[in-house]
Every structure is written in structure tokens, then in C-alpha cells.
Amino acid sequence: MDKKDEKNLKVRYLTWLYKTVKEAFDRYERKFTQLEIDGFVLREMEKELKGSYMPQEKKALEKLVNDFRNYVDEKEKACLKLKYKGKKIDPEFIFLDVKLIAIEKAIIKELGQEGLSKIKDSYHQEMIKRIIEEKENRL
């Protein structure tokens, strides 16, 4: 095996390792980023709908907004249960966080900062592609 083949094997393994750990870590973190965005969307909807609807629409709109508010509240409770065990952070979350940092350092050691950037960009593009394809398949 020549040096190029060896480097390609390392690139593929490091990419796979980053992807698998990042996906596991994102299962925790994405919920919290979703909450931040959901909270913003809820506040914007409330501002937009405040007094701008007809009396016959008021009850139905209030119900829809309240349903969304309840959804956000339930998501927040689920997030806290996922990331925390009692009052302490779940050890698996800590482990994944530390492992991801170590993998990123290994990538930098083997491939440089540019290599890490390429892997992160590829991961991001793949996740976007999955989201778009999932949406298209539902239609």
C-alpha cells in the first residue's frame, strides 16, 4: 500500500468516525437549538397575530398558538430529560462531547485544519441533503 492509499484510508475512517459521533452528539444538541428557534417563532407569531385577526378567527387562532406553545413546552421538558439525569448532565452527553473534541484533534493531526473544515462542511451538506430529501419523500 502506498502513502496515498494509506492517507485515503485515514481520511475515510476519520470522516466516518466524525460522522457517527457527531450524529450521536447532535441528537442531544439539536433539541436545544430547536427550542431557541421555536421560542423565537412563537414570539413572532404572537406579535403578528396580536389584534390583527377578525373576531370570528380569534378562538381558532388562539388555540393553534396555544397548541404550538404546549408543543414547545413539552419539547423543552423532553430536552432536559434527555441531557440531564436528575440535576447532573448525562455522562453519555459528556462522553460524546469529549470524544468529538478528540476526533477533531485527530483529524487536525492527520489532515490539518483544512481537512477538518472539509469534513465538517461535507457533514453539514449531507445533513442538509437528508433533510431536503426527507421533505421531498413526504410530498
pLDDT of residue 116: 98
Can you tell me the mean pLDDT for 64-83?
90
pLDDT of residue 82: 82
- Give 121's contacts (C-beta < 8 A, 6+ positions apart): none
80-90 b/e (C-beta count within 10 Å ≥ 16 → b)? eeebeeeeeee
List the domain range (segments joined by +) for residue 108. 3-138
Q: What is the dihedral of CA 59, 65, 68, 73, to 10 degrees?
A: -100
Proportion of the chain above pLDDT 70, given as a percent: 94
Cell numbers placing 15: 470522516
In whole angstroms, what is the distance from residue 60 CA to residue 117 CA? 47
Burial-class residue 116 by CB neighbours within 10 Å (0-12, 13-18, 19+): buried
Confidence bin at 138 (pLDDT 50/70/90): low
pLDDT of residue 96: 94
Number of domains in the chain: 1
pLDDT of residue 139: 57
Residue with cell 431536503: 132
85-104: pLDDT as tens digits: 777 888 898 999 999 999 99
